[in-house]
Structure formats: structure tokens, C-alpha cells
Chains A and B, each alone.
Chain A
């Protein structure tokens, strides 16, 4: 699968998610190695009014989305993959006023489960604000009209 197809697929995937549109998430980069999304800074995302730092929930949404859509970088066909679990470790708080980027990759794909990991960062991916791991369930391809294929991952 070509990188341009992966980019197009991840953009289409993201455009379907209403809450991600509300947050203004966009695809920054996508290829076979992984996916980077951008979360623009916004005052509505502030979690600590004393510092102006954005809420952990917005970072979690960014990383759940990045890890979830990164499955589209690793699978030959688009599949719906609900999150089984997600863990975020905060290295340091997000700097107010700056966009946050989320990078994620699939490091193991099995017939039923996909293991992903990633980072959230602002200025430098080597100084992440958070490390993330997430596990996703493979549900198979959505059924197509006309009946062919899509009988789930069983």
C-alpha cells in the first residue's frame, strides 16, 4: 500500500469523528511507519485555569485517536478497531499556547489484537510531554453492500 493511500485513508477516517472535528485535529503525517496528528492549542481545552495548560482529557483524546487511526497504517484494509485499553504517562505538563502533536505506531499486529505505542510532544519529539501505549481489538472490515467479505475477525 502506498504512503499517499495511507495518508488519504487516515484523513478520511479522522474526518468522520465528530469530536475530533470539534477539537480541530488534523493529519500532520502518515506513512507505513506510523501516524502524526496535530491538536491545535485552544482556550476551550484549558484544564488548569491557573497555568493555561491544556487538560489531560484533550491529550488522551489526541492519543486515543492517533493510536486508533495508526492501525490504518499497518493493516492492508481499513478495519474498525475499538480501544481495549490505553495508558498515558506524563513526562511534563504541556506548554500553554503551543499545538500538541501525537505520534503513534503499531508495534505488533495479531489476527485479533493490535498493540500500539506513541508519544505526545510540542517542540521536539525527543522531549515528549507524554508516553502512551494502547491496545486495540480487530473487528474485521465493515460489511460491504453486495455481500462480499467482511465477516469479522473470527
Chain B
């Protein structure tokens, strides 16, 4: 596959405040329609409502796997942007608790890096829809990171 210079792409995104090329570079993130919003020093990730992401047709609700994929990718982008990891981190494990139904509306996610060592990073992710204090899911994961 092609070489992708994530380092340059991250620098460009942070300078121009345009995160679309960074998101578009990963087909899965493009498929679910993910976006990035910078709020001061913090980064919030957004998953706009989309018919294609619906799992439960009765509520309707977003597929739990899409919520998980959105949160996992948010954690990867967060590490790329704030922790200076030069390549996409590789997932080691991922654990998610579903707290409320993810309704058919926009979903947001924010990340907290609890520890970044030389080889492994531990990230917690919170996802919400109406209020950040009422999360629809929390997740935690470990990534393996290659230093430059």
C-alpha cells in the first residue's frame, strides 16, 4: 500500500484548522462520516447522523459497532495530534460500555490519554449526544505506538 505521511498531514491540519484531509486519508473514517472540531486546546470528534450507520431500525439507533469504531478512531487521531506519534497507532485491546441508546442524531467524542509510555498508550474515550455529562458510551483502549 501507499506511504502516508501522517506527520505532515497532522501539522497541516492543525495549522489550517482543516481536518478533512486527515480524516479522508482513512477510508473507514470517511465511510462512517467522521469529523473533527477544535475547541480551543481541545479536540472534539463528531459523527453526524447518517442512515447508513443505523443498527436498530426500531428506535432507530446507531449500530453499537459504529459507535465503537468512531471512538476507536477518535483515540487514534487524538494520539496523532496531541502526542506526536508519527504513525497510526495499532490497537491492542478495546473495551466499551454502552450506557444509553445512541439515537439517530449527531454523536460526539472526546479522549483522555491516561498514560503514554514508549511502546503503549492507554486512552479513555467518552461519547455523548445531548450532554457531555450524560454519555451514551465510555471506552478504554491500549495502542501500540511505533516511535519514529
Contacts and interface: CB of A to CB of B under 8 A. Distances in A.
A150 interface: no
Interface in B39-65: 51-58, 62-65
Query: Which of A19, A50, A65, A142 has the largest count of B CB atoms less than 10 A from its CB?
Result: A19
B51 A18 contact: yes
Interface size of B as a range: 35 or more
A61 B88 contact: no
B98 A85 contact: yes
Given A47-B26, A86-B68, A64 B32 contact: no
Given A57-B73, A82-B98, A87-B94, A49 B27 contact: yes
Contact of A51 (B1, B29, B62): B1
Contacts of A44: 27-28, 30-31
Contacts of B91: 56, 90
A100 to B, nearest CB: 13
Contacts of B31: 22, 44-45
Contact of A54 (B28, B65, B66, B72): B28
Interface string B68-102: 11101100000000000001101111111110010
Nearest to B30: A44
A9 interface: no
A85 B4 contact: no
Contact of A55 (B28, B58, B98): B28
B3 A57 contact: no
A17 B97 contact: no
- Which residue of B65, B66, B87, B101 has the most chain A CB atoms within 10 A of its CB atom? B65
Given A49-B25, A55-B28, A55-B69, A17 B63 contact: yes
Most buried by A among B3, B54, B101: B54
B27 A46 contact: yes
A83 interface: yes
B71 to A, nearest CB: 8
A93 B90 contact: yes
